[in-house]
Amino acid sequence: MLVLVLSVVVLLLAGGCVCVFWAARGDAPRWARGVARATLLGSDLARSANRNPRAQQSSGDD
């Protein structure tokens, strides 16, 4: 069951990447541009959640 869920997630991510590439070419339909926008927003959210706020502080106070 877990393999099935992970396979679906990987297929959705691959489809999002294809839509981003298609939209970047400029000839994508409206629904593909929407999927591309959602994919890019999700990647930005994942990137900002992955940042460590402690890594930006100076560690000279130890």
Cα angle 26-31-32, degrees, rounded to a multiple of 5: 45
- How far is the CA of 7 from the CAs of 4, 18, 21, 38, 42, in angstroms? 5, 16, 21, 20, 18
Per-residue pLDDT of the chain in tens (62 residues, 90 and over written 9): 999 999 999 999 999 999 999 999 999 999 999 999 999 999 999 888 877 666 555 555 55
pLDDT at 50: 78
Half-sphere exposure of 39 (CA within 13 A, CB side): 22
pLDDT at 60: 55
Q: Are the CB atoms for 39 and 61 separated by under 8 Å? A: no
Cα 11 to Cα 4: distance, rounded to the nearest angstrom: 11
| Distance from the Cα of residue 14 to its chain's centroid | 10
